[in-house]
Amino acid sequence: MITGILGRKIGMTQLFAADGTVVPVTVVEAGPCLVVQRKTKQNDGYDAVQLGLVGPRPSPRRLTKAVRGHFEKAGVPPTRTVGEVRCEEGDPFAPGDKVLCDIFNAAEHVDVVGVSKGKGFQGVIKRHGFGGGVATHGSMFHRLPGSIGASAFPSRVIAGTRSSGRMGGKQVTTKNLEVVKVDAENHLIYLRGAVPGARNTVVKIVKKPAKTQAA
């Protein structure tokens, strides 16, 4: 069985449970996706499918011959977004097949992969959660990082020391989000909690393994 799908983050809203509880959810337009390539253990060493997210088509001028030939071989129109998800050996998926959000069910848990919001250059308090210094008695130490290494030895800053720098704009995986509702007719999935990225960010929703679901 195919384990995931590509989609676009729409935004956040609320749903009401049967007992009146308010549930914060993120709405994701999941699919429809087209299978562009089927990878097998015999040819590629593992079983997976390459999916293309149906949507605005890329300009023909931006397509290289290799990319154009890749889509023509599959018999599907070129897509701007392509991603890969695992599947099981012997799954009957072939290039041109559609993958819809009905592969998910309410109450199951998924992982969501996306690119987080870029926040630019930030200091250590916002970027790493440092506590900062006291705010009174003329300390002059409020939002500084403190000591970043000894001066005598090794006389350098150790690689990996947490410091200020660019924050966000990286691939992030949010784990164990609950599927609250699946609207297959409108290709929408409602996930409990927050999903990485801004609105219209492309995300990949991946099913949890069967053992994890049972736990």
Domain spanning 4-120+173-214, CATH class: mainly beta
User: What mean pLDDT value characterizes the chain?
Assistant: 87
Residue 25: closest CA among 191, 203, 202, 195: 191
> Within 13 A of 95's CA, how many CA atoms are on the CB side?
14
Q: Give pTM, 2 decimals.
A: 0.79
> Within 13 A of 38's CA, how many CA atoms are on the CB side?
18
42-69: pLDDT as tens digits: 888 888 888 888 877 888 888 888 988 8
Q: What's the average model confidence in pLDDT over 76-101? A: 83
Looking at residue 38, what is its pLDDT? 87
Q: What's the average model confidence in pLDDT over 69-97? A: 83
Task: Report the C-alpha gap between 176 and 6 in whole angstroms.
Answer: 17
pLDDT band of 80, cuts 50, 70, 90? confident
Residue spans in the chain of domains classed CATH 2.40.30.10: 4-120+173-214
Looking at residue 72, what is its pLDDT? 85
Q: Look up residue 124 and give its DSSP letter.
A: H
